[in-house]
Amino acid sequence: MKILEDRLLIGRFKTGDTEALRRIYEKYKNSLLKLAIVLVNDANRAEDVVHDVFLSFAKSIERIQPRGNLKNYLATSVVNRIRSIRRDAARHNTEQIRDIDCRLCDLPRPEQWAILSEELTLLSSAMRELPEEQREAVALRIEGNMSFKKIAEIQNVPANTAKGRFRYGIDKLRSTLNGKV
Amino acid sequence: MNPAENIKNQIKNLRTQASAEFDEKMYRKFQQALGKEKAYTAFQNPNTLRLIMHSRITKLATAAVIAIAAVLGITFLGPPGTAAYALEQTIEAGQGVRYLHFYFSSLDSNTTFKEAWLEYDDNGQIKNTRVNWYNQPSGDMVAVWKEGRTQYWNKKEKTLRFFEDEIYTKKCVAFAKRYDPTRTVENMYYLERKGDVKIEIEEPAEKSKPIILTCTWLPNTFITEGTSPQMREIVFVDPVTKLVTSIEVYKLEEGEYEACGVWEYPDYDTLFEPGIFDLEEEAPADVKRLDLMTLDIGLERTDLTKEEIAVKAVRSFLEALIAKDYDRAIKIYGYEDPDDKEGLLKRFEKLNIVRIISIDEPIVPRLDARGELEVPCKVELEEDGQIIEWQIDGVFAQRVIGHPNRWCVKGKFEK
């Protein structure tokens, strides 16, 4: 019903209404967690990413205009945060790259807060087999509900390239999962 | 379904759920980030936030509706699919509400955000109103209307204006009537009978979903003064309390409805903080206080019509400029801060107007509720020894605030 709800929530949060931030968090936390999980293939890392994204959003609310698409904004922030972590890791320690891309633990650790279904674990592992660009295109299209034009903007490629990455990614996922989800 | 669609749907349907521990961690971080104790309270206890149905008044109002319904023989608890809702239920549910707090978010190019508080007296008459404007191009502003006197605080300018203006008072009362959702529905109810508004009611079969009223306003019926295009309001009504929860506003532009903004009503009958209607106390000491009632500006309207005084004010102003009588020009132009007179003098001294070529019939600006009139005018100007024609853009005439029988001139007058 609330086609304008996000703009209203941003406007309210800008005025210091913390309840508005809570509502934004509640509204998008699960979809962002899923997006981050399929991108980093690790529930703990995904939570860290979502944590950073929301915290950064809360701190930079003054600069955010209420007229954009909030879900797209947050999803793009997740992608950017993951890229930034990868860049930092690449600079400091090549081992950490593997750590970021590590396979999902078979058993959730006690501190692992996100509750994962078996299917999501399988999907996350299958996503790991995709090249990073295809993984992003698939995740942003399916989890972020983004247009190819928007994905192309984020990836800085023509829209047809983004479309191609998505198609190849889906084909590969289908063959990897082979009816497992 | 093709295999690609199939895998997409399978992926889409996978769910994950942030745990309570993760939520707790986030709430703590938000609290630290915002540096507010109250933030944590709000995050920690979302369920303790006031719910409309927990309001004593609402319960009483709802009980009253049921009682009235019983007397009138209205069946609310009929079989599924029965059109049980009627506008009267919302009107009844809102009776007796003393305090109303709401928000408005506009979606025009200068996205603004408004927050308002209304207080009624024991007889249901407007007692006090307060409106905060945020994200305004000209800075945040606050207007309080309290027992006929208006306080107007421009935070960017650091000014606080005071005035008593009968027309402004009427507008404040009209604002309250217009945007108090109960009164809005009541107003629509009567306007529908007059034929000015068309209302369609959509009551979803699923009882937890809101009742939706689609109200279409004929051109020039949406605002109390001035013109407006055809407008549409989508009113969302809580199916349990029958109180309005939000209103989306659209205007008809080139055959399509374009979103203008949304009103949201989260609080019915929550007591306001003391002093919310006293800006003199709230505004810091370095905010300049301006009492508009003491100013001697504008031109007397006498018995002229609005159009006649608008033309006269503009003509007199231009004549004063031609005569280089800047005191008179500044008086007709008007000001709210006497310290602005020097800046006006510098601006007007640069204009070397030598002759009025024409002053045309005033025009009522579109979608404007301030009652001002645009006065097209053309003059001759001497510039670098040459005489040139100048069609002056954006010349307006309007009432002087606080002095309803005087009119002044507005416009940039910059070439």
- Find the range with the poorest average confidence among A2-11, B94-103, B224-233: A2-11
Q: Which of residues 126-145 of A touch B (CB under 8 A)?
A: 138, 142-143
What confidence tier does B42 reach under pLDDT thresholds 50, 70, 90?
A: very low
Q: How far is B26 from chain A (nearest CA, A)?
A: 7
Q: Which of residues 8-37 of A touch B (CB under 8 A)?
A: 8, 11-12, 14-15, 18-19, 21-22, 25-26, 29-30, 33-34, 37
d(C-alpha B171, C-alpha B33), whole Å:
41
pLDDT for A111: 31
* Contacts of residue B65, Cβ cutoff 8 Å, sequence gap at least 6: B89, B92, B93, B242
Quote the pTM value.
0.50
Q: How far is A115 from chain B (nearest CA, A)?
A: 5
Inter-chain CB proximity A12 and B36 less than 8 Å: no
A4, A19, A171 ranked by CB distance to B248: nearest:
A4
Inter-chain CB proximity A181 and B27 less than 8 Å: no
Inter-chain CB proximity B34 and A15 less than 8 Å: no
What's the ipTM? Answer: 0.74
Residue range B288-342, pLDDT digits in tens: 999 999 999 999 998 899 899 999 999 999 999 999 999 999 999 998 889 999 9
Mean pLDDT of chain A: 74
Inter-chain CB proximity A142 and B12 less than 8 Å: yes
B248 neighbourhood in chain A, CB within 8 Å: 3-4
Structure tokens at B235: 């009113």
Inter-chain CB proximity A54 and B36 less than 8 Å: no
Inter-chain CB proximity B30 and A47 less than 8 Å: no
Chain A: residue whose CA lies nearest to B237: A1
d(C-alpha A174, C-alpha B344), whole Å:
73
Residue range B248-286, pLDDT digits in tens: 888 888 888 888 888 899 889 888 988 999 999 999 999
Q: What is the 3-state secondary structure of A31-83?
A: HHHHHHHHHHCCHHHHHHHHHHHHHHHHHCHHHCCCCCCHHHHHHHHHHHHHH
A7 neighbourhood in chain B, CB within 8 Å: 105, 107, 111, 262
**B140 with B156: CB under 8 angstroms?**
yes
Q: How far is A102 from chain B (nearest CA, A)?
A: 19
**Cα end-to-end distance, chain B, whole Å:** 65
d(C-alpha A168, C-alpha A141), whole Å:
13
Burial (0-12, 13-18, 19+ Cβ within 10 Å), A12: buried
- Find the range with the poorest average confidence among B78-82, B94-98, B281-285: B78-82
Residue environment code for B3-21, b if the CB has 16+ CB neighbours within 10 A, otherwise e: eeeebbebbeebebebbee
Inter-chain CB proximity B16 and A19 less than 8 Å: no
